[in-house]
A and B are shown apart, each in its own frame.
Chain A
Amino acid sequence: MRQTGNIVVTENLRKYFPIRGGIVTRTRREVKAVDGVSLKIRTGETYGLVGESGCGKTTIGKTIIRLLKPNGGKIFFDAKGELPDAPSQCVMTQNNITDAKGGRLKALRRNMQIVYQNPSTSLNPRMLVKDLVAEPLIVHKICRGQEVEKRVLEMLESVGLSSEHLYRYPHEFSGGQRQRIAVARALITHPKFIVLDEPTSAVDVSVRASLLQLFKELQQTMGLTYMFISHDLAVIEALCDTVGVMYLGKLVENADSKALFENPLHPYTQALFSAIPIPDPTTRRRRILLKGDPPSPANPPKGCRFHPRCKYAMEVCTLKEPEPHEVKPNHFVACHLY
């Protein structure tokens, strides 16, 4: 059951990474990883973000939870999940976390968490599982001593592990189990919003389904909102309610999952969907092969960033960047074709 409010709203979010020429020279160029993205995530839903490498999806996930400091734009977050749709209506002081720092930033960490892609590198190899999962409790001074162990055990059990796993090192576990440990760590403070950064890409196919099932269960029992970043469209289609497509730092299409998969409007989305191999040898898909390689985010093409590879490119595409409009109810596309 979804509430009507949003939990995260961004307005024109920007995050750039400088390319330094050396210690003394000023930064000449910047990688515009996220360049003006405005999205909203409804409370309780699973928002999917797709795109290829270099499109900025991981960066935007980390920026929304303020692991990175944005270079421009605004982020609004409300743990109660009652933000209105329009950024201009969001209460400025209370929910604007764009510049949060110090104690306020730390308090945010209790409510926004992230699960990384690679469970082998996201868990400190020299820490026991118990310490790994207990750390958020200790850092935020939530409880002490026996209570800590009790809560850690509870959390491990809800992700499908048990007490015999407490006093072991991460490398003694399989990829799927490690990812569960990472999930336990993320959820132990009962946050409201979780960014899942390609959590199933580094695990085996057979384990994927059990992790996805876990995510779904936890969402219901703990009332979580997910931002699910992935390049695996099958998973996105199965799990997510709303989906956004990113290309080179911009959100090119945003719609309800079903609507998007039935009728992708943006040429890039169409090409992306057609490129996914279908596990069915009898269907011969009419594949749209894109020309060339994805361009570098340090030097995006002028105008619409997709125009060099787009087969419908028109003159206006080389000059002006398209703005997202609502082409169909709740279906936004940034393309001059519409």
Chain B
Amino acid sequence: MTHTVVNIKFWDKQSPRMKELRFILKRMKSSPLSIVGLAIVVFFTLVALLAPVLAPPQPNRNPYMIPRYGYSPTPKPPNPVNLFGTTEGQYDLYYGMIWGTRAAYQIGVLVVAISALIGIIVGGLAGYYKGVFGEVLMRVTDIVLAFPGLILAMAFVVAFGPGLNSITVALILVWWPSYARLVRGEFLRVTAEDFVEAAKAIGCSDLRVMVKHVFPNTIFPLVIMASLDIGSVVLTAAALSFLGLGAPEGYADWGQLISLSRNYITGAPGNPFAYWFAYVIPGIFLFLFVLGWNLLGDAFRDILDPMIRRR
């Protein structure tokens, strides 16, 4: 039968995806904690993006190196020059917080993205092909997972030498197994569905089935895990920095800054909270960052789960 090809407007083509987005946003609005989480995450994202504006770096210097306002070991409380005060060695805390946000994002996003990628490949292949191949992959995963995370990360960092790059690589090596497990479980579930078999019946190659059919149906749990993990990764990186295994001294990294305040946690004689700003301020930033991502991750879990059920 003949007919004319109907010209369907671009926005109509997008309409089902728009509807989904609107649904997600509406569900988010109904839970106050989700809004709090979203607000915190948006705040930190803006800070990270606007870092050069909020805390202009000194010319010809690595912007991540915090400018020093002297060399005295005693931290100075907040004052008009140093908005948040300075820590031991007179590193400006305000600058450290702003650029530390960027550093946190860098580590967080990089580690989560690459671990997820490795995990998807390993877990995906294991879940799709199953059999002995899948089992071997999973045992390797289990072995890596059996090591206590922080200790393993420390071991890697010591082996590679301290520095932020080492931390990043170490954390990736420690974090990918949980993604592999998750993805494998999801792939197992989805490959059992009829439509995957239907895709094979059409003649799709294995690769196409995995990428176009199975994977898109597994992203929801992945998104949830990733958003919860960004907080955890940053926290672990901060712990490693605190232990001295991470960024060099003077680098804008929250963990590093808390580490610098180590000698001043007990404060001055007679005034135990004299130097509260040195550890409380980086601590609050760290805490809020992790909280924000955790709340967002929880919100995703609440929203995306019933959406899956509704289908």
Contacts and interface: CB of A to CB of B under 8 A. Distances in A.
Interface of A: 23, 65, 67, 106, 109-110, 113-114, 116, 118, 121-128, 135-136, 139-140, 146, 149-150, 153-154, 157-158, 163, 166-169, 171-172, 182, 185
B202 A166 contact: no
Interface string B176-207: 00000000000000000111011111111100
A124 B1 contact: no
B1 A154 contact: yes
B30 interface: no
A150 B7 CA distance: 11
Nearest to A135: B202
A114 B194 contact: no
Interface stretch (B8-16, B45-53, B61-69): B8-16
Contacts, number: 79
B208 interface: yes
Contacts of B15: 167
A124 B208 contact: no
Contacts of B203: 106, 109-110, 136, 139-140
A109 B16 contact: no
A171 B311 contact: yes
A118 B8 contact: no
B132 interface: yes
Interface of B: 1, 3, 5-6, 8, 12-13, 15-16, 132, 135, 193-195, 197-205, 208, 212-213, 216-217, 310-311
Given A167-B8, A167-B16, A124 B201 contact: no
Q: Which 5 A-B pairs have the closest CB atoms?
A: A109-B203, A121-B194, A122-B194, A163-B6, A124-B195
Given A123-B195, A157-B3, A136 B202 contact: yes
B304 to A, nearest CB: 12
Contacts of A124: 195, 199, 213, 216-217
Given A154-B1, A172-B16, A122 B195 contact: yes
A149 B216 contact: no
A62 B204 CA distance: 16
B200 A67 contact: yes
Contacts of A182: 198
Given A109-B201, A139-B208, A168-B16, A125 B217 contact: yes
Given A113-B201, A140-B203, A167-B13, 6 more contacts: A113-B202, A114-B201, A116-B198, A125-B311, A135-B204, A139-B202
Nearest to B214: A124
A135 B199 contact: yes
Contact of A114 (B1, B13, B16, B198): B198
Contacts of A167: 8, 12-13, 15-16
A171 to B, nearest CB: 5
A127 B311 CA distance: 13
A163 B1 contact: no
14 contacts: A67-B197, A109-B201, A109-B202, A123-B195, A124-B217, A127-B212, A127-B216, A135-B199, A146-B5, A166-B8, A167-B12, A169-B16, A171-B310, A185-B202
A121 B204 contact: no
Given A139-B203, A140-B203, A163-B6, A126 B1 contact: no
B204 to A, nearest CB: 5
A149 B5 contact: yes
Contacts of B13: 167
A28 to B, nearest CB: 18
A154 to B, nearest CB: 7
Nearest to B131: A23
Contacts of A139: 202-205, 208
B16 A157 contact: no
B217 A154 contact: no
Contact of B3 (A23, A125, A140, A153): A153
Contact of B132 (A23, A125, A146, A166): A23
B244 to A, nearest CB: 45
A65 B203 CA distance: 11
A135 B213 CA distance: 11
